[in-house]
Every structure is written in C-alpha cells, then in structure tokens.
Structure 1
Amino acid sequence: MVEDAPVDGIKGDHCLNFLLLAQFYPIQTPKGSKRKDFPPSQAYAVPMTTIAPVQELKAQRLRLLRELERKVLWLSAWTIHNANHLRPNRDGLKVGGHQASCASLATVMTALYFSVLKPEDRVAVKPHASPVFHAIQYLFGHQTQEKLEHFRGLGGAQSYPSRTKDVDDVDFSTGSVGLGVAMTLFSSLVQDYVRLKELGDGKRPTGRMVALVGDAELDEGNIFEALLEGWKHDVRNLWWVIDYNRQSLDGVVNDRLFGRIGEMFELVGWRVVTLKYGMLLEAAFTQPDGEHLRQWIDDCPNSLYSALVFKGGAGWREALTRDLNQYPGIRRILDQHDDEALHRLMTNLAGNDMQAVLDAFEGVEGDQPTCFIAYTIKGQGLPFAGHKDNHSGLMTLDQMAGFKKGMAIADGLEWDKFAGLKATPAELQQFLAEAPFNAEGRRRTEAPVVAIPAALPKPNDKESSTQAGFGKILNAIAAEDSELSKRIVTTSPDVTVSTNLGAWVNRRGLWAHTEAEDVFRELKVVSAQLWRKTPRGQHIELGIAENNLFIQLAAMGLSHQLFGARLLPIGTLYDPFIARGLDALNYACYQDARFMIVATPSGVTLSPEGGAHQSIHTPLIGIGQPGLLSYEPAYVDELAVLMRHGLQYMQLDKGGSVYLRLSTRSLPQPQRTLTPGQESDIVAGGYWYAPPEPGSDVAIVAMGAVTPEAIAAHENVARDFVGAGLLVLTSPDRLHADWLSAQRNRGRTAGLVDRSAAPVERLLAPLSRDARLVTVLDGHPLALSWLGSVRGQRVVPLGIEAFGQSGDIPDLYRAYKLDAAAIVDAVARSIA
C-alpha cells in the first residue's frame, strides 16, 4: 500500500538504521549542480534538538501528505471502479480509466498540489492520471461528487483533463500524448514574452510550467522537437516530471532507450534530477553488502523488475537468493524481512516515497529547466502492480473489496473526503485550505479585449496576390503605435520571409530574452532583412517543425487566461504543411486557444514547386476542424476585411481561431470601394460578383486563386445563358456551419425558433430550383459540392483530386480542369 511500513515490520539493525535516518535533515541540493540523485538516506550530521520546531512542522506536513496520498489513490481508483462496475452500462462498452497509471503518480501529484506548487504555476497532467487530478480538485472543493460519479459519462469529469469541458481548474488540456508536455515549454516562452514586455498587470509572479509525463510519452517525436526549440530560445521556469514506471500500453519500456533520456535532457541544457530509491532501500544499502543489493537492482531489467513486483515477496526472495546468496549481508537482510516486508522494501522507489519526492522538488532552485526522473511502480498499492498488462486493467469486485478494506473505508463512505484516514477531518481541511497552490482559489486569469479599428489599412496595388497583400497590411499595422500593433505577435517555422512576414519583422524585431544585433548589418553586408533579436521583438522565429508552430500558437492564444495578458497571435506556414502539424492544430483548437493561421501559398497554383508543395485537401481541413473558422479570399480588399474580422473573432467569448488560405498568384484587383453590406457578405462567406437574373438556370461558383478563370468563363457562358450568375465564395466553412445551424433550428417547436434563412440559402435563392451550379476551386471539389444539398440543385464540381506536379499555371489549370475552358465545358455538360 501507499502508507509507510510500520517500524515493527523491520527487524534488527535494519530497524535501527531506519530510526537513525529520522534524526537528521535530508540532503540538500548543491547550487549549480547539473544533475543530482536524491537518496534520502544521506544526511547532515545535525542533531534534532537544534532544529526541533522546524522538524516538527515538517513531520506534521509529511504525516498529512501521506494521509492525503492514500485518499487520492482511493478516490482515483474508486472513481474508475464506479464508472466500470457500479454505474449502469447501457451499451456494453468498457468505460475504462487507468487505475495503474493513476497509482504510479499518486505520490508525486499529492506532493505537488498540496505542498509544492504555487498559484502562478501551471500544470499539464499526464492524460492517464486524470482521475488523480479530479480527486485532488475534489478535495480542494473545485470538483463535485456528482461529476466524479459520472466520470467518462455525459456531463461528468472528463476522461482526460479538459480546459473547456471540466469544471475543475484545468491549466492545459491533455489527451493526445506528448502535446501537453510540449505545451508547457511553449507556455514558458509566452510567460517570458509577456513579462519582458510588461503586458500583464505587473504584479504577477513568474510561475513554473510543469508537465507530468508518462515515460512512454517520450516515444512521441514532438517532445524532442520542442526540446530543441526550447534550447534555442533559452527556455526557463520549466519542470518535466517523468513518471518512470517502465510500462507502456502494450508492455514494458525498453531499458536501452531510457538509459539515454537523462543525457538527452542535459545535452539541451536541462538540469536532471533522478529520484530512484526511497528511504527503506537507502537504509538497506548502508548495511553490510548493501552495495550488492543496489547494484542488483540497478542492473535488473525493467521486465524482470516489473514481473517480480507482481509476484511479491516470495518472488523477490527467490530471485535474490539465487543471485546474491553468496553475500552474508544479503542473507541477513532476507532473514530480517518476512515476505510482506521484503516486498515493501524492494518496491520502495523514490517516486512513490513522499519524503524523497519532497526533497527533490524543494531542493531545486533557480529558473533552469529541470527534468525529474521519478522511478515509480505502475499500479503501486493495487493488486495488479507491476503486471505488464495492467495499463488498462481494472480491479475486480473482489479485489476492490480487499482494497477498500485495506483503506478502512466503510460502506456508504466511499466518496467521503476523509473516511479511513487517521488524521482528523479538521486538521486535514485546514491543511488543504492552506495549500499554496489553492491560496487564490480559481487561477484562470482575464484580460481586456483589444480594440480593433473600423478598417485595416488596405494596399491599393492594381495587381497583387493575397500573400503579398497580407504582408503589406501587417506592415502598415507595424508602422502604427497602437494597442493593436503592440498585441500582435507573429511566429513561423523558418518561412518568415517567404510568407511575407519580413516587413513586419524589420519593423518589430525578433523576440529573444537578450539583445543580439544582426551580424550582417553590423558588418555592412547588404540584406533586405533585419534580424535583430531583442526582448522588445514581436516575432518568434521557429525551426522547421509544424507541431511546434501550432503548440506555440496554442500557448500564445491562451495567454489571457494563463498569464492575464491578451495577445493576438498570427502564425504563417506553407499551406500543404498544415497536415504535418494537424494533431497539434487539433490540440490547440480543443483548448479553445485563439490565433490566426495564415497558410500560403496554396494549391497547384504554386505550380513550379510540384506535388509535394501543393495542397489539395486543406479546404476540407478548414471546414472539418472544430474551433477554426476558415476563409480563402480572392482579392486583397477581401483579405483586409477578413483579417479585421478575424482579430475581433479571436477575442469573442463564442469565437475561435481563424485560418486564412492565401495564394502567391498575382491577380488584377477590382477597383471598388466595398460597402458595409458587401463587407458583411464577405465575412458571412460569399457574394455575387455577377448577380443572376431571377430564376436563372446557371451559376458558376468560384473561390480563391481560380476566380479569374471563373470570370472569363462567366463572360463566355453569359452570351449563351443570359442572366447566368457568378458567385464568389470566401468561406464555405462559414456558409456550411450557418446552414446546418439553420437546419437544426427548423426542427424545433414552432413559434420558438428563428426561421430566417441561412446566408447560403439567401445567396442561392435567386436561382431556379433546377439551376445548375458549376463549382471550382484550387482544392478538393468536396469543399463546394455540398452546395447542391441546400436547395436540391445539381452540382458539377471542379477541383483537385490527385497529387499535383510541376508546371506553370496555364498548363496545370488545363491539366487539372481548372481553366476557363474546363468551366465552360462543365456548364455545357450540366445542361445536357
């Protein structure tokens, strides 16, 4: 079990050594050390009489933390058990949960939340330890029994911590393993960005960004991409606590790989703290021949150690007798311990030893990023501890009955906060109320909305691409001394210049902790780009890793709730490479982070680059991704309207993030002054470039860079089909969402609903019911072919369904049926 071994379970000299340990302070961390193991058995020779008051308080804290550790383990296990065995199961599916994964982190999380963490700290919880987190929040009073009873049910505590769906104080949503870990790193950079610019209230202390990491999570490549980026940007105030329980979903973690983990962290400038052995084992190592026991455990393969944990005391005795019986001191240790005590000794790893955990956390000073490697046992204190199949294992009814008895929980008191504990409810409640982490109650911050001007500056070029227009709009904002210009922060994965952010960076600078001049400028080497690094800079330059981009955007897009300072993040990348970071993009949106993605160039319109750099299905990503509103403007004046709307939308309570799919194709710009009604139509998703005659049977629907081909085709078609219309869409995503919303409303009780038409219904209303729609875009045709469902009109969709290739625009548009001739032919076929 989690509770400490009673002294009467240890015999002879072992008991004497154990008692001697309690007479001294635990070892302290030397300042400036790069790596340190924390063996609690080492001590300063300071008599207890000189430090009695302090030590008494420490002993009191340790006692209460061990009590709460038991309760956290119980509540997490019971929550899962209730969901799987006691709550009615209507569909026959296993509800799941991870009792073993919870048990391995119960000690660490108890120590952190009830003693170590402060209100300004932010934590990403290991996904499979979600029930432990919910149990801790329940003890704090931030979670309810009802939601624990409905764990993994509708409206209950979530399977994995969720910022948007859980009622308790979740800092970072986790679930897709590895991403929450990286999120803490990029959040640390954002915290420093806000602090150095004094964008917050100026009173907020600098917090630690803490990730609780499953050892198998380290197989995720995005973690190492983030580590490199953190090293480049001198990341600080970052703790990663690795739950080294040596087991993954399907088996046991490879010893060979994990032996290098500490070295990898040290290579990128981290301090590594290893918590390996608890107090009982450290005491045993001081006995005669104890060094051989330490060496045996050090050399023991993960798979063998885990198997012996499951077998228990008899298994340990057999293995140690077989391998170490030649040493008298080992025989003596075996004689001193019965099977139960021997099992307790051999499973006394530091990550499950409260004193060792506290020593490690409290021994670290300074802001150097720190990796704690906490040796733990998966399922510690549970009947299937150590078994390689225990990852998703659940205690049976009989096993739970035995566990419940061992925890001294009476029937009917399973959800009681303090049942079965030796400490009184009053002292436990007082201890919880005084926990530093909980000192300010809810810790989610707020920040005022940044005012957006009535119009953004619009370039007046007669011919331009939307990508070039984006750069000029942002450059004009950069030239202003406004709150908007101060709050925008840009980032890009090594494509800053090629996505037209260069002018912004020249004006606003690269962000870094310390000043660094552009060497080319200092040496008077002519360059269009000024790469001056400064704490005042407003662009964070990333390496080529799209996962890092989206997690960085997620961290910046939550700054108002994490650090009390609102940022307006804009990230740029090549449109086809959204797919490379799609998991991280989904993760960012799931947290309701607010940012703007400018993806450019897009489609086969990027003709010379070939198929690997040409995007096909990204419009479908824009439509399908929750929390992300996508647009694809054809012209720069549309882009200016949409950027303004996006900067506002990012700050709305019911808003979200924005995706702009842009092009490098330079188009003749319409010489027009948009009316408020036209601007509203652009934001709503589309407008009639050439309105149809009422009852027209033909319309061409176009989007983005292929609009000139649609215009040319329309001029041809209009000669044969008088009154044919040309509809230019800016957002099939917005149109589709509003249409579905209107459809759902119409299914409700009459008289209580808004029966007004959706924007797409109003757009298509002038056409006859039998009208033919020829849709065309530089992307997958499915993005527009749904329009036929709105009024039952026939659609002939044109778009890209195969990988692109190198060529110029005329050749590729002709080859992929995007040119004017293909559009005219599609109209003819639709009428036939």
Structure 2
Amino acid sequence: MAGKATQLALVSGDKKDAPADKLAYLKALERRVLWLSHWMIHNANHVRPSRDGLKVGGHQASSASVATLMTALYFDILRPEDRVAVKPHASPIFHAIQYLMGRQDRDALENFRALGGAQSYPSRTKDKDEVDFSTGSVGLGVAMTLFGSITQDYVRQHFPEREKAAKPGRMIAVMGDAELDEGNIYEALLEGWKYDIRNTWWVIDYNRQSLDGVVNDQLFQKIKGFFAAVGWKVVMIKYGKLLEEAFKKPGGEALRNWIDDCPNDLYSALVFKGQNGDPSGWRKHVLADLAGHNGIPQLLAEYDDEGLHRLMTNLGGNDMEAVLEGFAQAEDDTPHCFIAYTIKGAQTPQAGHKDNHAGLMSVEQMASFKSQMGIADGAEWEALDDRDLPVAKLRDFIAKAPFNQPGSRVKESARVAVPDDFPTVKADRISTQAAFGHILNALGKGRSDLAGRIVSTSPDVTVSTNLGAWVNQRGIFSRRARDDIFRAEKVVSAQKWARSLTGQHIELGIAENNLFIMLAALGLAGPLFGEKLLPVGTLYDPFIARGLDALNYACYQDARFMLVSTPSGITLAPEGGAHQSISTPLIGMGQPGLTYFEPAYADELAAVMRWGFGHMQAADGGSLYLRLSTRGLEQPQRSLDADFAAQVVAGAYWLVEPSPDSEVALVYCGAVAPEIMEAHSALAEDMPGLGVLAVTSPDRLYSDWNRQTEARRKGQKVQPTHLDRLLAQAPAAALVTAHDSHPAALSWIGAAAGRPVHALGVTKFGQSADLPDLYRVHGLDAEALIDAVATACLGRIGGRLGGSL
C-alpha cells in the first residue's frame, strides 16, 4: 500500500508539486470553511437587523456534514473543466469556499439570504460566484449532472476540436442522502445507463438524517445495489483513520461490528450527547453490548471519555485523509458513486440531534463554537488566520489549487445565424403539429449552421409529435453505433433511424422530468462547454404537468430551448380526458424565462420558430413553449411579409379587420379558428364590421401590457402596447374570447383594455367524443360563440339605456 504522502499526491494527479503536508493545509482550510459557513448563517439570523421578524434560516448542520468533502473537492480534486451541483443546503459552504478563493465578496456573505447577497441555494443566475448548476428542489441538480455528462459527450463528438482541446470535465453532484428519496434520481440513472454515461461522480453525504428524523437503517445497502445495477462503481468512505487503526487492535473487529449494527437513531443520540458534555454514553453502551468480547475492555481503556467520543465519531466523510483516499479510487471515466458517512452538524453543538436540519445555534452556542474555533472578536469575517498555518502559505496553496485558475469559468460561444430562407409550409390544409414536422424536416435536409446546432429530444413520443422526418435526416445520438435492423432486413418502415455518435436526436424513455433536465443541460451547452446548441424537445401537452418542477428548474437556470407540446386541449377529442389539457397556457404565461405561443396556422408557426431560434440566443431572451394541435385547418392564402411576421411574434393580428364603430370583436387563440370563422360568417350580414383578432401568444401580449403597468407604477413614460394599437381599431367593441384552454388565458384582455369580455374556454376535464360533441359540451362551437356575441350586444345596449336613464 502506498504511503500517505504518495496517496495524497496521487489524488491531485501531480505528485511532484503536491506539498508533503497537503493534509495540514486542507484541514486548516476545512476549519475556516466550516467557521465562515456557520458565521454567515448566524449573522443573517442573530446579528443582522431584521425588519420583518422572519427566520432567515440557512441549514448549519447540513453544511457541517459536507465541509470536509467540499474542501477536498475544491482545493484539491477539481479541475476548471469539472462542473459541480452542490446540494441545496450546502450553499453556505460553497460561498465560503468561493470567498477563500477570491471568487465571492464579503458583502455577499454578510447579506446571505438578503437582497443582492449570496443565495439560499446555489443559483447560476443570481449568485456572483459562478455556480455551475443551480440547485434547490432536491434531486434535480443531481440528475442535471448526469444529463450534463450526456451533453458533454454530444458536444465533444459533434465538435471534434473540443475533443482535442482539453480532457472532458467530470460532472459532480454533492448530494444529501435524502435526495435519494426523489423518484427522478432513478429515472435519470436508467437513462444514463442507456447512454453509457462517463465522467460522472455522485458524492452522497450519508448523514442518515433528513428533515423529519433519522433515515432508515441499512439504506446504503439498497443504494449500492441501485448503482451497481446500472454500471456505476460504488466507493464506500465509511471510517476515518482513527477508527481504522483501532480496528486493527484486539477487540477492534467486535467494535467495528458494533458500529455497523448500531441503529442510526442511537448513534445520532450518542453523538449529540458526546458533543455537548456527556461522552460517557459510548463506553456504557459498547461495554453493555459487547460484554465478554476479548479485548474490548482493554481497547476502550486506551481512551478517556472525550477521546472515545472522537474515536466513535471519526467517520470517513468527515476525515480528510479518508476522503482523499476515497476519491483517489476513481481511476477511469466510469461513473462513480461515493457513499461518504458523515455526521450532520459535525464538530458543532448540533451534531447528531434529530431536530438539527433547520435548527440554528443559539447565541450562547455560537459563542462556544467561536471559542472552539479560535476566532478572535472582530475577526469573524477574516478569510484566513495564522492559527493553523501562516496566512501567506495558505494563500499560496489556494492560488495553486487546480480548480482555482484565473478568469471566468463561463464559456463564450458564437451566435448561430438563422438563415434568411427559413422554411415555410405551403399546404391547403394542415395542422400546426404537421407543419412543425415539415419545418424541421426541411431544416434537416439543409447544411446550415442552424441545422447543425439543433438537437432534438423526446420522451418516447418522437413519431407522434412529428419529429420522425427530422430524425430520418439526422439520426439518433448514441455512443454505440447501430444500424436500423428493419432496414437491413428489408422490412418497410417510415422510420430510418440510424444510431451513431453523429446523430442529432436524443431519444428518451417516458419520463418528462428527464426531458426537461435534458433540455436544461443541452440549453446550457454554450456556457458550460463552449459550443452553443439549440435544443428542441417535444412531448404531449397535458404531460407538461408531470415534469413541471423540472421545467421550472430548467428555466430558473436560464437554459435556452424550444419546447413543443402537441397535441393540446380537448381538440384531441377521441383520446379522452387523460390526454386533454386545460391549464397549460396558464403555465406558459406564468413561467419566468419561458415564452408561450399557440399559433393556429402554419405560416404563423414558421414566423414564431424563425424568431424563436434567435430569441433562444439573445442576451435578454429565453426559452419557448409552442402549444400545437393535430387538428388540420384550411390555410389562409397570404404572404408572410415582415410586418405580418412581426405582428405574429408580438402576439396578435387582425385576421378580419374591424370597423371603427363595431360593438363586438371576436378574439381567439389556436385550434378554434374554424368555429370563430363559422360564427363570423353567420353574423357578417347583420354585423358587417365584426372583427376577428387572432392571438398567437397570450403570453407576449400580457408581458407587453405588464411592462406598461410597471412603467406607469414607476412614473415612467408609458408607450402604447401592441394590444393597445390593435384594439384602437375597434375602440368601443366588447370582446368575445375563445380558446381551447382555461378561459383566463384570454379573459384578462378585457381588464387590460377596459372592455366588457365574454370568455369561452374549458374549465372541466374532457372526455372521449368527436370534436363537434366536445366543442358543444364545453361551449366552444359556433353556436356558443354566436350566443356570446348576442349577450355582449345586449349588454352594450343595456349599458347605454342605463346611462340615458
């Protein structure tokens, strides 16, 4: 077995430059990281003035358990190309480490969880210290590293200069053991196995405690089985060096077995008692349980009570040397799971207590901890001190950490041009879903830079969302090349899906969480890996709700992608209520970072997609959500000029121009266009000035109106919105709105415009039926529209009569 100094040198991969006393440096930094993280939280809760009386929080105990692991990673293991998802509750540890490296400022730490300060959970978009992957909703950041690994493989295969320029980075998740309760973890593991992921580390902070108590015993045995089943190497970091030495002595094996068999809740209780002045419990329980075992009394007699407490709490994940040796076992690019046994609240007065998850040290406890850590009054925010090692040497050690290289770790990538000859669709009758397939297929046949940067993905609905033709053109991405067996056997099939490293489609299983996290990873390929990708993901519209947490997570990171959901609404009539969506437009309108469109016609869709590929790259841009339909519509014969395209992208245009004195205007969105036009035809003779407003994006209209509202609130000059300019053509018209979704997606226009509104839509679950029956039942047919117009007219007449009286 290699000696200690050699092992430590091997961890960083550079024996020659590794100082012989690296362990001392890392332990000194670990102590400082632990102190700063806890003081940051204490300052926020007990020192900084509070104006609202609310608890600020900060998870001191959850931070303490990973102080050793994260110190080892950031100051020794990581390289600049590695990317890390830090568990949400370790945010203070992360910020303290970045502060020591000069990548975070003191002001941010002093304002932890305050406006402009370090965030409660690591955030790509809101923190100053270059977070790789945002975390917050547990489990999602972990899975993000797996899909980040697939994305890195994709980039390196499609852009060979990346393969030559540098070694691939490791995608690393530092995760709490309770995150393994999240189902999306296991969905991701299966997908990773299918794609033979590489260069992925999951470091489990196995402290055996969660929010409501102590985790079930022997959980790690199940964990090992899960990871081994999908080809991961599992590394146990269970015991520290003190315990390993004790196990070699007479009675040591019996002591090991006692610790292995000790229930988690008993172990945690003894840890807490020992940390708070009563360490005698260890001796009492061990002697009682191991009476008659040779060597046990003699072994325990070598330690006083405090020494025995140090021994029994010497778990691997809180022992720097054991951690470094554990990480050194990762000698290749096989995915690794490190199960690091830790104590929640290690080295603090909260250690082991089952209530410590959201607990905070009292003022008295912090004073004791401050004394224990050797912090002088007034020196609480000092980055370093000379207690363990000279400050100058510590600074030099930090500067030489492989991870801590000068400059930003956020990579730049060139803008992808959207060609002037962007595909359009010429058809007498077509659905928006089919038109989407035609547009992507046309792009796939070309050799534009745009086509080369598009990568599509779908959760087992590639064909039914009209991605099939694109995949025929571009193939499926796979680390293992495989021909289409049906084609080789001369069996006729519309699908000619070759699998290879050059494919541009990533086929996923039926798991919407995986889809959205895959889109998040692909959408961050530019800043993470230096090559911009333009991801397009498809799914069934009602199942957006199944992955909503992951969709929110993707948008929160400012990942850029085009989400195409189809079919939508009750318009998918025979499929029944389980496949019919109601509130998804409200999700699209309410989700930050996501712009929702619902075009009715193919030329509108072409304008939106052309604009969308640019919006996905704009500094102030974001992602898109296109809600499409399988209902084929008769297509208007018109030219897609710049003015028309601009109106479509702005959110609405007059399909039928109103007269200035019109009393009513029809407003619709999406697949109900035929019913609108049928009602218009029936009313045209009696109401020749009846206008029809086609809304292509309720979201864009609302955002424009909301900006105007904000400007007015701030006393700024107010500009007319696009909606203002459109409705000015019918200044007195009441509105009748219709949408195959919840009516609130359009009814707000009445309040924004100060008009009476009669909103038709869907507020109940659908059912299997044909389209005429469903539209009739839900009040979306032409007859319901005509009735609504009549009601609106009567209301206007009643209003005038009331006014004259």
| TM-score relative to the length of structure 1 | 0.93
Of residues 215, 238, 243 in structure 1, which corresponds to 2:205?
A: 243
Checking the alignment, whether the CA contact within 8 Å between 2:5 and 2:20 is kept in structure 1 is no
Checking the alignment, whether the CA contact within 8 Å between 1:137 and 1:169 is kept in structure 2 is no
Of residues 235, 243, 248 in structure 2, which corresponds to 1:286?
A: 248
Once the two structures are superposed, the pairs formed by residues 226-265 of structure 1 within 5 Å of their partners are 226-265=188-227
Of residues 373, 378, 383 in structure 1, which corresponds to 2:339?
A: 373
C-alpha distance in 2 between matches for 1:689 and 1:198: 45
What displacement does 1:325 show? 3.1
Identify the residue that residue 816 of structure 1 maps to in structure 2.
778
Once the two structures are superposed, the pairs formed by residues 338-487 of structure 1 within 5 Å of their partners are 338-419=304-385, 421-487=387-453
Identify the residue that residue 703 of structure 1 maps to in structure 2.
669
Checking the alignment, whether the CA contact within 8 Å between 2:8 and 2:324 is kept in structure 1 is no
Identify the residue that residue 65 of structure 2 maps to in structure 1.
104
Could you say what secondary structure the match of 2:332 adopts? Answer: coil
User: Is 2:119 aligned against 1:153?
Assistant: no
Q: Compared with structure 1, are the counterparts of its residues 798 and 199 closer, same or farther at alpha carbon in structure 2 (3 Å cutoff)?
A: farther
Of residues 160, 165, 169 in structure 1, which corresponds to 2:130?
A: 169
Checking the alignment, whether the CA contact within 8 Å between 2:9 and 2:15 is kept in structure 1 is no
C-alpha distance in 1 between matches for 2:337 and 2:588: 37
C-alpha distance in 2 between matches for 1:440 and 1:189: 27
Identify the residue that residue 220 of structure 1 maps to in structure 2.
182
Could you say what secondary structure the match of 1:761 adopts? Answer: helix
Checking the alignment, whether the CA contact within 8 Å between 2:251 and 2:299 is kept in structure 1 is no
Once the two structures are superposed, the pairs formed by residues 579-728 of structure 1 within 5 Å of their partners are 579-728=545-694
C-alpha distance in 2 between matches for 1:609 and 1:582: 22
C-alpha distance in 1 between matches for 2:90 and 2:261: 29
Deviating more after overlay: 695-704 vs 130-139: 695-704
C-alpha distance in 2 between matches for 1:417 and 1:59: 24
Of residues 765, 778, 785 in structure 1, which corresponds to 2:728?
A: 765
User: Is 2:42 aligned against 1:76?
Assistant: no
Q: Compared with structure 1, are the counterparts of its residues 371 and 653 closer, same or farther at alpha carbon in structure 2 (3 Å cutoff)?
A: same
Could you say what secondary structure the match of 2:564 adopts? Answer: strand
C-alpha distance in 2 between matches for 1:183 and 1:754: 43
C-alpha distance in 2 between matches for 1:569 and 1:826: 42
What displacement does 1:320 show? 0.8
Checking the alignment, whether the CA contact within 8 Å between 1:409 and 1:420 is kept in structure 2 is no
Checking the alignment, whether the CA contact within 8 Å between 1:407 and 1:420 is kept in structure 2 is no
Q: Compared with structure 1, are the counterparts of its residues 134 and 176 closer, same or farther at alpha carbon in structure 2 (3 Å cutoff)?
A: same
Could you list the structure 1 runs, at least 4 aligned residues long, displaced by more than 4 angstroms after superposition: 20-29, 53-58, 199-202
C-alpha distance in 2 between matches for 1:68 and 1:25: 21
Identify the residue that residue 783 of structure 1 maps to in structure 2.
745
Which amino acid in structure 1 is aligned with residue 315 of structure 2? L
Checking the alignment, whether the CA contact within 8 Å between 1:199 and 1:565 is kept in structure 2 is no
Checking the alignment, whether the CA contact within 8 Å between 1:200 and 1:563 is kept in structure 2 is no
Which amino acid in structure 1 is aligned with residue 117 of structure 2? G
Identify the residue that residue 540 of structure 1 maps to in structure 2.
506
What displacement does 1:695 show? 3.1
User: Is 2:765 aligned against 1:803?
Assistant: yes
Count of residues in correspondence between the two structures: 787
Which amino acid in structure 2 is aligned with residue 794 of structure 1? P
Deviating more after overlay: 56-65 vs 759-768: 56-65
Q: Compared with structure 1, are the counterparts of its residues 55 and 284 closer, same or farther at alpha carbon in structure 2 (3 Å cutoff)?
A: farther
Which amino acid in structure 2 is aligned with residue 718 of structure 1? A
Of residues 704, 713, 716 in structure 2, which corresponds to 1:738?
A: 704
Checking the alignment, whether the CA contact within 8 Å between 1:467 and 1:600 is kept in structure 2 is yes
Identify the residue that residue 48 of structure 1 maps to in structure 2.
none
Checking the alignment, whether the CA contact within 8 Å between 2:6 and 2:15 is kept in structure 1 is no
Checking the alignment, whether the CA contact within 8 Å between 1:696 and 1:766 is kept in structure 2 is no
Which amino acid in structure 2 is aligned with residue 641 of structure 1? A
Checking the alignment, whether the CA contact within 8 Å between 2:235 and 2:329 is kept in structure 1 is no
User: Is 2:280 aligned against 1:314?
Assistant: yes
Q: Deviations over 1:755-792 (max 9, x none)?
A: 220111111112234x2110001000000000011221
Checking the alignment, whether the CA contact within 8 Å between 1:119 and 1:439 is kept in structure 2 is yes
What displacement does 1:715 show? 1.8
Which amino acid in structure 2 is aligned with residue 307 of structure 1? A
Identify the residue that residue 267 of structure 1 maps to in structure 2.
229
Could you say what secondary structure the match of 1:438 adopts? Answer: coil
Q: Deviations over 1:202-236 (max 9, x none)?
A: 41320000000100010000000000000011011
What displacement does 1:74 show? 0.2
The sequence identity of aligned pairs, in percent, is 61
Which amino acid in structure 1 is aligned with residue 726 of structure 2? L
Identify the residue that residue 114 of structure 1 maps to in structure 2.
75
What displacement does 1:600 show? 0.3
C-alpha distance in 1 between matches for 2:336 and 2:671: 49
What displacement does 1:829 show? 1.3
C-alpha distance in 1 between matches for 2:147 and 2:478: 13
C-alpha distance in 2 between matches for 1:163 and 1:502: 34
What displacement does 1:413 show? 0.4
Of residues 89, 99, 115 in structure 2, which corresponds to 1:138?
A: 99
- For structure 1, the residue ranges without an aligned partner over 5 or more in a row are 1-19, 30-37, 39-52
Identify the residue that residue 799 of structure 2 maps to in structure 1.
none
Checking the alignment, whether the CA contact within 8 Å between 1:183 and 1:552 is kept in structure 2 is yes
What displacement does 1:632 show? 0.2
Which amino acid in structure 2 is aligned with residue 521 of structure 1? R
What displacement does 1:58 show? 5.1
- For structure 2, the residue ranges without an aligned partner over 5 or more in a row are 795-805
Identify the residue that residue 45 of structure 1 maps to in structure 2.
none
Checking the alignment, whether the CA contact within 8 Å between 2:569 and 2:741 is kept in structure 1 is yes
What displacement does 1:442 show? 2.1
Which amino acid in structure 2 is aligned with residue 563 of structure 1? F
